[in-house]
């Protein structure tokens, strides 16, 4: 009796099987990060031990699925010799980071009337205070500049300032393909509400703080120009 013949089942080469099951690699989006320096400082840094922050390390870790192109840090030189000296050391350390651009505004003195109800000093009380100028305008202009030149696919805004609503709205209207993500820098719920800013962004989050400790500069940072930026002792 003739035996039956069973042809062996054909098996494709292993490399072909692997190429068929591997998922398609996701293309990372180009991102630019815009940091409102004073909003960032008063929201999460003031009173904490992590002021000597390497912005490039922090935000590249935070946005590890992005191709971070630039980190634009907007601030102004503060008043007071001690605070100014500390800030200048920090800005000097930031000059060592290839991705970071520091854009300076300015402080302007203005006269303010005391409006405290029940103030024990009678009469009209006027005192001088300082107001930061140009930061929100600078952020808005750079966002429009970067969108117009197609330097990014995604904009990461670190601020809770509602003055930036018109800039976000304009980018969305003229470049709808650009995604805008807002991080609110805040340690408490009341400061972190920022309802208007959250509503206008494509996505919004409260800035996570767990990476701050892991993203510090070393105590001394050589700048390459013969100077060394040193962490202030009070920081």
Domain CATH for 184: 3.40.50.1010
Residue of higher predicted confidence among 155 and 117 = 155
Number of H helices, E strands in the chain: 7, 10
Whole-model pTM above 0.75?
yes
Specify if 120 maps to a domain.
no
**Could you tell me if 61 and 214 are in contact, meaning their C-beta atoms sit under 8 angstroms apart?**
yes
Residue whose C-alpha is closest to residue 143's, from 157, 122, 162, 133: 157
pLDDT of the residue at 193: 80
Q: Is 155 helix (H, G, I), strand (E, B) or coil?
A: strand
Average the pLDDT over 69-80 and give the result: 95
Other beta carbons within 10 angstroms of residue 29's beta carbon come to 15
pLDDT of the residue at 128: 47
Specify if 1 maps to a domain.
no
Specify if 10 maps to a domain.
no
**Could you tell me if 34 and 142 are in contact, meaning their C-beta atoms sit under 8 angstroms apart?**
yes
Radius of gyration of the chain from Cα atoms? Answer: 25
Residue whose C-alpha is closest to residue 194's, from 160, 223, 220, 168: 160
Specify if 149 maps to a domain.
yes
Pairing of strands 66-75, 29-36: parallel
Tell me the C-alpha to C-alpha distance, in Å, between residue 9 and each of 4, 6, 79, 210: 15, 9, 81, 54
**Two structure tokens written together for 103:** 């854009």
**Average pLDDT taken over every residue of the chain:** 86
Specify if 113 maps to a domain.
no
- Span 97-124, pLDDT tens digits: 999 999 999 655 555 566 666 665 655 6
**Could you tell me if 154 and 29 are in contact, meaning their C-beta atoms sit under 8 angstroms apart?**
yes
Residue whose C-alpha is closest to residue 42's, from 219, 152, 207, 231: 207
Average the pLDDT over 193-221 and give the result: 95
Specify if 44 maps to a domain.
yes
Residue 6's pLDDT band, with cuts at 50, 70 and 90, is very low
* Spacing of C-alpha 110 from chain mean position: 29
Query: Which range marks the domain in which residue 193 is found?
Result: 28-105+133-230
Burial 189-207 (b: 16+ CB within 10 A, else e): eebbebeebbebbeebebb
**Two structure tokens written together for 222:** 């050589």
How many domains does the chain divide into?
Answer: 1
pLDDT of the residue at 226: 87
Tokens 């907007």 correspond to 74
Tell me the C-alpha to C-alpha distance, in Å, between residue 156 and each of 96, 124, 126, 231: 22, 44, 40, 27
């Amino acid at each position: 009796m003739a035996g039956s013949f069973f042809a062996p089942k054909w098996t494709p080469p292993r490399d072909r099987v692997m190429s068929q099951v591997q998922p398609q690699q996701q293309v990372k989006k180009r991102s630019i990060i815009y940091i409102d320096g004073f909003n960032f400082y008063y929201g999460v840094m003031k009173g904490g031990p992590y002021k000597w922050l390497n912005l490039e390390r922090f935000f590249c870790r935070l946005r590890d699925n992005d191709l971070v192109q630039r980190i634009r840090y907007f601030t102004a030189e503060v008043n007071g010799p001690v605070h100014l000296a500390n800030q200048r050391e920090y800005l000097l350390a930031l000059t060592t980071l290839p991705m970071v651009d520091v854009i300076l505004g300015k402080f302007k003195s203005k006269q303010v009337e005391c409006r405290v109800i029940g103030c024990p000093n009678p009469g009209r009380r006027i005192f001088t205070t300082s107001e930061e100028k140009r930061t929100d305008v600078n952020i808005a202009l750079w966002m429009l500049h970067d969108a117009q030149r197609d330097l990014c696919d995604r904009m990461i805004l670190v601020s809770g300032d509602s003055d930036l609503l018109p800039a976000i709205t304009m980018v969305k209207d003229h470049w709808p393909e650009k995604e805008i993500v807002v991080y609110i820098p805040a340690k408490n719920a009341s400061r972190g509400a920022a309802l208007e800013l959250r509503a206008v962004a494509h996505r919004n989050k409260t800035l996570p703080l767990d990476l701050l400790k892991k993203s510090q500069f070393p105590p001394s940072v050589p700048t390459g120009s013969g100077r060394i930026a040193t962490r202030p002792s009070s920081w």
